Amino acid sequence: MNKKIAYGTLLVGAIVLVLFAHKIRTAANLLTETLLFSGQRTAMIINRLDAQEQTASKQEQIASKQEQAAGRQEQAVGRQEQAASRQEQAVGRQEQAAGRLEQTASRQEQIASKQEQTAGKQGEAANRLEQTASQLEETAKRLRADLGVAIDRQKRGRPAPDLQGNSIRVSLLKSEDGPMTPVSMTKISAREFLIANYRDVYLFDQDQRTAVPLEIDLELPVWNPTAVFYSAFYDRIFIANYAGGDIIVAQLEHTATGARLRVTERIADIGIKGAEGVAISRGGRFMGVADYDGNVVSMFERVDDKWVPRWKRDLLASHGITIIGEEVFASGQGSIVKLSIETGQELARIANIGTESIQFATCINEDESSGDLIGSDPMAGVVFTMTKGLQLKDIYGANGPTFANLSAPFCAYRDKDAAYVLSTYQDRIVAIGNAATTSFEFGLPRWKYIADQSRFRYPFVASHGSVRFDAPSYQMFDKTVRAAYGALAASDGTLLMMPGRGDLFGGEWPFYATGIASDPNWLVIVSNSSPNAILYNRKTGALGGVTIGEWDCWAQASEILCPSRRYSIGELSAAGGMLDQEEEAKMAGGWVGSAIPLLKYWAEWTPARPAKANH
């Protein structure tokens, strides 16, 4: 019984074990499946973790770069903040400056207000002064006519020198280029001179009474001789070749058939633009050049047989030059200067000759009779002498008709025998000696039809600046005009400039000293330096020109006085030709300051178109 129970218990236990083992296998299978699945999941997770690690690594690299960039940005921001701080400081300073400017402006406004009040008072005073000046000018006009003679008698103890003198005709071949017009002269022997006139160099024999143009043995690019200077030290003639931009050195050679210039040196490429004057020191060391185009005085020194530049000094329209010892004297437009020959230091300068302004002193030379200076101003028509301290000693002459006056005296010299005046457009040399005056006249006889030439003599103060103060005024175009040098001076301050070379029917001679003759229908404008005249019809406004064919002509009331005879206005207007206003309007030129070419002003004149003139 007990065994059965035991066997039954064992059997039940075995069954239970079998069942339990089955469950264990099932559970093992499940565990295996679970582990397999877990391994797969784990692998997947590991793969994902690896990918995430790589991504994280990349993100760390990116973050590192971003941190570096952020660091740089922070540095940039720091610099910007510093710059902004400096800008704020600058703005602060600008605001302070603006505040000071506002205060200054306020003070200036107060000052301006006071100045306006003062200007009003000055204007009233100026009006009173102008009235007084007008009265004084009228008084001066009455006195000026005799002032020249008074100065002459006070300074010289006698009247001004005789300019007419004893007439001596010099034989000269007639030139197709016009009159001789001497502008420079140098003495080469007791009775022989060389004369330049921009075209040729002439040998003037005072005893033989001949003037012969000299040939030059060298063909030069340009031959435009304007000044001649004989150096005894070198026994050479130094020639300022103006348009050539050089200095020509030549020796005078006498031949069986006459004489000629043999060129021994050409001084070029040393900075000379357009020389109008040249001088050599007595010992030959220095050469002074008046460079007109360069507006300078230039000094050169002779070193090893070459001319070496030493110094330059400014001088407007530099034209005349002379050397006396250790000093250089030069002249030009509006001034005469005294310079040190060694350094070029300015020692003295003047703008007046006596009481009158220097207009254009084309010439200055040593007065060999006194060791002082002699020169001329062709615009004023005067000859002057002065000390080496530039103090006036004497002055005489004026531009005007007949040989009682001069006509643009371009130069003057004086030796122990006489003073020589080159009266350029009279074509003569006036030799004023102690006992008598001799007039060496080139070409045809002149002014023989006027018996008493002395009644036409003008005082040297005939002009105020470039304007003839006692010349009559006329209505022309829409202006009131008076004769002036190279222009018509209008009462409103405008200068109507006379025609230049080639402007009036192709004429090659410019208008310098002008004059106006009139009748009820016409104004005729003539000049000492041109063979042409300008015609203006007072009733129609037409403008034209006529060729007289003579130089040194002067307006005298209703006539024109020329060297050979008188011309009437009717005669000249009948022979004239009128200009076309529209054609003249196309020509170049226009206002320069207060000046305008007369032809251009007429062409642009705007009143009703004038009718053609009837002769």
- Most confident stretch, 97-101, 119-123, 134-138, 559-563: 559-563
Q: Are residues 244 and 370 in the same domain?
A: yes
What average pLDDT does the segment 594-614 reach? 73
CB atoms within 10 A of CB 423: 30
Whole-number pLDDT of residue 468: 80
What is the residue-wise DSSP string for 177-238? Answer: T------EEEE-SSSEEEEE-SS-EEEEETTTTEEEEPEESS--S---EEEEEEETTTTEEE
What average pLDDT does the segment 437-453 reach? 93
Q: Provide the pairing of β-strand 543-547 with 522-527.
A: unpaired
CA dist., res. 38 & res. 104, Å (int) = 93
**Residue 470 one-letter amino acid:** D
State percent of the chain over pLDDT 70: 80
Whole-number pLDDT of residue 615: 44
Examine residue 135 and state whether it is found in any structural domain, yes or no: no
Examine residue 420 and state whether it is found in any structural domain, yes or no: yes
3-class SS of residue 209: coil
Q: Are residues 470 and 596 in the same domain?
A: yes
Lowest mean pLDDT of 54-63, 516-525, 559-568, name the range.
54-63
CA dist., res. 296 & res. 107, Å (int) = 46
| H helix intervals, 355-472 | none
Instruction: Give the model's confidence band at 614: pLDDT under 50 very low, under 70 low, under 90 confident, else very high.
Output: very low
519, burial (CB in 10 Å: exposed 0-12, middle 13-18, buried 19+): middle
Measure CA 73 to chain center: 62
Q: How far is CA 84 from CA 11, 75, 93, 343, 488, in A?
A: 101, 14, 14, 58, 67
Q: Are residues 264 and 401 in the same domain?
A: yes
Two tokens, residue 364: 């200055």
**Residue 344 one-letter amino acid:** G
Whole-number pLDDT of residue 103: 76
Whole-number pLDDT of residue 4: 65
CB 236 within 8 A of CB 280: no
What average pLDDT does the segment 174-179 reach? 78
Strand partners, 227: 240
Examine residue 545 and state whether it is found in any structural domain, yes or no: yes
pLDDT in tens, 304-320: 999 999 999 999 999 99
Q: Which residues contact 226 (CB under 8 A, 6 or more apart)?
A: 183, 184, 196, 198, 240, 241, 242, 275, 276
Examine residue 267 and state whether it is found in any structural domain, yes or no: yes
DSSP character for 485? B
Q: Are residues 250 and 175 in the same domain?
A: yes
Examine residue 74 and state whether it is found in any structural domain, yes or no: no
Whole-number pLDDT of residue 38: 60
Q: Which has the closest alpha carbon to 534: 489, 479, 476, 471?
A: 476
Strand partners, 515: 526
Q: Which residue has the tokens 């009040």?
A: 117
Whole-number pLDDT of residue 260: 94
Whole-number pLDDT of residue 611: 44
Q: How far is CA 131 from CA 121, 138, 483, 595, in A?
A: 16, 11, 25, 27
What average pLDDT does the segment 278-291 reach? 98
Q: Are residues 174 and 317 in the same domain?
A: yes
Whole-number pLDDT of residue 119: 60
Q: Please tell me which residue, 65 or 554, carries the higher pLDDT value.
A: 554
Whole-number pLDDT of residue 80: 74
Lowest mean pLDDT of 111-115, 306-310, 400-404, 566-570, name the range.
111-115
**Residue 518 one-letter amino acid:** S
What average pLDDT does the segment 527-547 reach? 94
Q: Please tell me which residue, 147 or 261, carries the higher pLDDT value.
A: 261
Q: Which residue has the tokens 């391994």?
A: 39
pLDDT over threshold 60, residue 446 = yes
Whole-number pLDDT of residue 465: 73
CB atoms within 10 A of CB 144: 18
> Total structural domains in the chain?
2
Whole-number pLDDT of residue 175: 72
Examine residue 105 and state whether it is found in any structural domain, yes or no: no
Q: How far is CA 54 from CA 40, 42, 443, in A?
A: 21, 18, 119
- Please identify, among 430, 456, 482, the residue that sits at the C-terminal boundary of a domain: 456
- Which CATH number does the domain housing residue 351 bear? 2.120.10.30
Q: Are residues 306 and 326 in the same domain?
A: yes
Q: Which residues contact 218 (CB under 8 A, 6 or more apart)?
A: 263, 266
Q: Are residues 392 and 519 in the same domain?
A: no
CB 249 within 8 A of CB 264: yes
CA dist., res. 193 & res. 146, Å (int) = 36
Instruction: Give the model's confidence band at 459: pLDDT under 50 very low, under 70 low, under 90 confident, else very high.
Output: confident
Q: How far is CA 594 from CA 141, 490, 504, 534, 597, in A?
A: 26, 10, 22, 22, 11
- Please identify, among 456, 489, 511, the residue that sits at the C-terminal boundary of a domain: 456
Averaged confidence pLDDT in the chain? 85
Examine residue 206 and state whether it is found in any structural domain, yes or no: yes
What average pLDDT does the segment 91-98 reach? 71
Q: How far is CA 559 from CA 70, 247, 296, 426, 444, in A?
A: 101, 45, 43, 19, 22
pLDDT in tens, 23-70: 767 766 766 666 566 667 666 766 776 777 777 677 777 767 777 776
Lowest mean pLDDT of 105-114, 312-321, 428-437, name the range.
105-114
CB atoms within 10 A of CB 362: 31
Q: Are residues 427 and 533 in the same domain?
A: no
pLDDT in tens, 69-94: 767 777 766 777 776 677 777 667 77
Q: Are residues 268 and 286 in the same domain?
A: yes
CB 429 within 8 A of CB 440: yes
Q: Are residues 352 and 205 in the same domain?
A: yes
Q: Which has the closest alpha carbon to 393: 413, 367, 416?
A: 367
Q: Please tell me which residue, 173 or 121, carries the higher pLDDT value.
A: 173
Whole-number pLDDT of residue 148: 43
Examine residue 54 and state whether it is found in any structural domain, yes or no: no
- Please identify, among 432, 456, 480, the residue that sits at the C-terminal boundary of a domain: 456
Structural domain harbouring 573: 466-603
Whole-number pLDDT of residue 158: 54
CA dist., res. 361 & res. 356, Å (int) = 12
Lowest mean pLDDT of 29-43, 198-212, 234-248, 270-284, name the range.
29-43
Whole-number pLDDT of residue 285: 98
Q: Which has the closest alpha carbon to 142: 461, 381, 380, 456?
A: 461
Two tokens, residue 181: 């017009």
Lowest mean pLDDT of 123-137, 491-505, 564-578, name the range.
123-137
Q: Are residues 435 and 495 in the same domain?
A: no
Q: Are residues 437 and 572 in the same domain?
A: no
